[in-house]
C-alpha cells in the first residue's frame, strides 16, 4: 500500500501510484529544485538566459565550467539540476541539430529542437531500467517562423513557451520578481539587467563575472536576414544569433 510519500511506488518509474502520480518524476523535479538558479527572459529584440555558476572548491578551474551551451548558431540552452544529465542532453541536441542541417540545409526551428529534447526526456519516463533526467532546461532560440522564443522543458518531457521563467532552488522568488519587472516592450539590454537583478535577489556571496553566466539571442536586422539568405544560397553557414557573453562583457553589465 502506498504511503503519503509514494511508498513502494517511489521505486517504480513505469507504474502510477493510486493518486495518479509517477513519483520518480517528482523526485527528479526535487533534484532540479536543489540546483542553482537559472532564468530566461524574452525581449522584443532577443532573449537572455542566465545562471549561477558556482564551484564546490576554490581549487577548481571555473573557466572549464560551462552551464550555458550553444546547440547550433540559432539556439542556446541552460539548465538546473544534474550536470552529467545535462551534458548527455546537450550532446543529443547537437546531433539532432546537425542531422536536421544535413537533410534540410538549415538549422532547426527552436520548437522542433525543443520537441526532440522533450521526446528524449519523455521516453526516459516510460522505459524499464532507466530513470528520468534530473534536469530542467531553458532553451532560447531564433528562427524565421516564430522569431525569438524561450522554452522550458521539464523531466516529464513537458515543455512550454514562456515570456520569462526561472528554474532551480530560487525559482519561486525569481518568478515573483520577474512578474513584477517584466513587460512586453522590454528591450534586450533591459532584459539583461533584469536577469542580473533577479539572480542577485537570491544570490549567496558576491556576484561577479566568474560566478554567473549569460547567453543572448539577438534578432537579426533586415539587412542581416538578407545577407543570411545570400550566404545560404552559397551553402555557407548562417551568422550565429546566439552567443555566450564573455567575462569582460558580464563585468561591464555588473558595473552598470
Mean pLDDT of 96-112: 95
Is residue 173 over pLDDT 50?
A: yes
Task: Of 224, 228, 200, give the one whose Cα is nearest residue 212.
Answer: 200
Is residue 171 over pLDDT 50?
A: yes
Query: For residues 29-52, b (16+ Cβ closer than 10 Å) or e, as one string?
Result: bebbbebbbbbbbbbebbbbbbbb
Is residue 8 over pLDDT 70?
A: no
Is residue 236 over pLDDT 80?
A: no
Q: What is the pLDDT of residues 59-68, one digit of tens each?
A: 888 778 889 9
Q: Residue 62: its pLDDT value, please?
A: 76
Helix axes 83-104, 110-123, angle to 10 degrees: 130
Mean pLDDT of 145-151: 95
pLDDT level of residue 79 (50, 70, 90 thresholds)? very high
Is residue 9 over pLDDT 60?
A: no
Stronger pLDDT, 120 or 222, i.e. the higher one: 120
Stronger pLDDT, 213 or 5, i.e. the higher one: 213
pLDDT level of residue 152 (50, 70, 90 thresholds)? very high
Is residue 2 over pLDDT 50?
A: no
50 in Cβ contact with 196 (< 8 Å): yes
Helix axes 188-201, 171-181, angle to 10 degrees: 140
pLDDT level of residue 1 (50, 70, 90 thresholds)? very low
The model's pTM is 0.89
Positive or negative, the CA dihedral 79, 127, 160, 202 is negative
Is residue 4 over pLDDT 70?
A: no
Is residue 229 over pLDDT 80?
A: no
Is residue 232 over pLDDT 60?
A: no
Q: Beta strands of the chain (E only): which ranges? A: 38-43, 46-52, 69-72, 75-81, 135-143, 147-153, 159-161, 164-167, 212-218, 242-244
Is residue 11 over pLDDT 70?
A: no
pLDDT level of residue 7 (50, 70, 90 thresholds)? low
Is residue 3 over pLDDT 70?
A: no
Q: What is the pLDDT of residues 23-73, one digit of tens each?
A: 888 889 999 999 999 999 999 999 999 999 887 777 888 778 889 999 999
Task: Of 51, 35, 97, give the one whose Cα is nearest residue 70.
Answer: 97
Q: Residue 256: its pLDDT value, please?
A: 84
89 in Cβ contact with 127 (< 8 Å): no
pLDDT level of residue 122 (50, 70, 90 thresholds)? very high
Amino acid at each position: 500500500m502506498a504511503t503519503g510519500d509514494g511508498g513502494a511506488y517511489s521505486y517504480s518509474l513505469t507504474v502510477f501510484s493510486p493518486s495518479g502520480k509517477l513519483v520518480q518524476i517528482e523526485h527528479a523535479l526535487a533534484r532540479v529544485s536543489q540546483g542553482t538558479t537559472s532564468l530566461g527572459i524574452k525581449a522584443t529584440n532577443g532573449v537572455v538566459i542566465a545562471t549561477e555558476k558556482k564551484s564546490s572548491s576554490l581549487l577548481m578551474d571555473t573557466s572549464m565550467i560551462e552551464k550555458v551551451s550553444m546547440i547550433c548558431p540559432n539556439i542556446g540552452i541552460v539548465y538546473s539540476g544534474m550536470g552529467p544529465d545535462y551534458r548527455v542532453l546537450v550532446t543529443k541536441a547537437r546531433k539532432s541539430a546537425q542531422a536536421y542541417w544535413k537533410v534540410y540545409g538549415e538549422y532547426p526551428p527552436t520548437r522542433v529542437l525543443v520537441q526532440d529534447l522533450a521526446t528524449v526526456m519523455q521516453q526516459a519516463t516510460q522505459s524499464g531500467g532507466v530513470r528520468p533526467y534530473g534536469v530542467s532546461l531553458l532553451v532560447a532560440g531564433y528562427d524565421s517562423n516564430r522569431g525569438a522564443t524561450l522554452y522550458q522543458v521539464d523531466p516529464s518531457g513537458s515543455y512550454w513557451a514562456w515570456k520569462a521563467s526561472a528554474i532551480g532552488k530560487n525559482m519561486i522568488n525569481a518568478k515573483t520578481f520577474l512578474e513584477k519587472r517584466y513587460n512586453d516592450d522590454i528591450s534586450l539590454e533591459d532584459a539583461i539587467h533584469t536577469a542580473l537583478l533577479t539572480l542577485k535577489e537570491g544570490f549567496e556571496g558576491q556576484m561577479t563575472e566568474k560566478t554567473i553566466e549569460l547567453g543572448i539571442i539577438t534578432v537579426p536586422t533586415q539587412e542581416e536576414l538578407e545577407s543570411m539568405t545570400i550566404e545560404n544560397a552559397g551553402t555557407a553557414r548562417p551568422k550565429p544569433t546566439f552567443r555566450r557573453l564573455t567575462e569582460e562583457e558580464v563585468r561591464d553589465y555588473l558595473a552598470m
